[in-house]
Chain A
Amino acid sequence: MKAAFLYNFANFSEWPEATFRGSDAPLIVGILGEDPFGHHLNALKGQSVNGRTLEIKHFTKTEDIIACHILFISSQQQKHIAQVLETLKDAPVLTVGNELEELRLSGCIINFVIVKNKIRFEINRASAERAGLDISSQLLSVATVINHNRE
């Protein structure tokens, strides 16, 4: 489920054209740390998002992170979030946390939460704006939206 959501975040977000190497360049989803999705993520490989194919990259450490459009930060890597965001320096990367305690403090853009046994998500609009990402109002309408700037 979360893997499908991750893919669909791409369907409802827009990145600056410059983040793609060309008009048919892939949309890259990075997974930092342990991959909790297993084969669900593999099923998404090669899927098309708004005319681009989806590519999956795995990073074991913060230093390994290279250009990607979505970055999922696994629970194990959560203690390194500050470092990750420091590395990204407000680059247009849609950062997704996994059930973080406080999205507003983390600086991530999206956070998966479990509400009444269902997967829902929070979006920090201020973080998205700072990263230069355009998140569709449709996506915001089904999310819990917060608007908090990190000091």
Chain B
Amino acid sequence: MRRFGDISIEHKLKALLLLTSIVMLLFATAAFVANDIITFRHALVRETTTLADVIGINSTAALTFEDEKFAEKTLAALGAVPHVLSATIHTQDGKPFARYQRHGAPENVTPAYSVQSAMNAHTFHNDYLELSRPIMLHGNVIGTVSIRSDLRELQTYLQRAA
């Protein structure tokens, strides 16, 4: 094998250029993927927030008049959103009021209630996003809605990118 010193300047320059291009390309790809992940996460938070707010608005009467059946019907509409794993409505004092679980979703995916989650909050876990929003009636908090969304779309994308 020839040593680096034996190679002509022309070839050295070519090799250097090639190496630089490869490194730049890798950096650019990494940046694109990172950007896509951030964009995806932002979009998922935004979409899940909207879903939670719509559920909240449609559950005010159910919460106020203690109609769990109607709250469950409202939550069942989440069945149309494939990435929603589960959702729970809690009363103002933190008691579970109504829940939804996607058909075939693993057991025990109902978000746990915590005081912190009572307000606007979202946390990304390994394979799901958990998000909570307050349910308001005339400016008063009357309960909370929490939604768990899976990250399958992102995972599929990353597998393709890898």
Contact = CB atoms under 8 A, between A and B. Distances in A.
Nearest to B60: A138
Interface in A34-54: 49-51
Contacts of A50: 138
Contacts of A49: 138
A48 to B, nearest CB: 8
B154 interface: no
A51 B64 CA distance: 18
A50 B58 CA distance: 18
B138 A8 contact: no
Contacts of A51: 138
Interface in B134-162: 137-138
A8 B137 CA distance: 10
Interface in A77-124: 118, 120-121
Interface stretch (B10-18, B20-28, B65-73, B122-130): B65-73
Given A50-B138, A138-B58, A11 B64 contact: yes
B157 to A, nearest CB: 39
Contacts, number: 28
Contacts of A11: 64, 137-138
Nearest to A140: B61
Do most interface residues of chain A lie in helix, strand or loop, or is the interface mixed? mixed
Interface string A113-142: 000001011000000000000001011011
Interface string B49-92: 00000000010111011110010000000000000000000000
Interface in A4-45: 5, 8, 11-12
Contacts of B138: 11, 49-51
Contact of B70 (A5, A121, A142): A142
A35 B61 CA distance: 25
Contacts of B60: 138
Most chain A CB within a 10 A radius of its CB, from B60, B64, B67: B64
Contacts of A118: 66
Most chain B CB within a 10 A radius of its CB, from A12, A50, A121: A12
A138 B61 contact: yes
A112 B70 CA distance: 18
Contacts of B58: 138
Nearest to B138: A50
8 contacts: A8-B64, A8-B65, A11-B137, A50-B138, A136-B61, A138-B60, A139-B61, A142-B67
Interface of B: 58, 60-62, 64-67, 70, 137-138
Given A11-B64, A51-B138, A136-B61, 7 more contacts: A50-B138, A138-B60, A138-B61, A139-B61, A141-B61, A142-B62, A142-B67
Q: Kindly list the 10 A-B residue pairs having the minimum CB-CB distance in the complex, ordered from nearest.
A: A138-B61, A142-B67, A142-B61, A8-B64, A142-B65, A142-B70, A50-B138, A139-B61, A142-B62, A138-B60
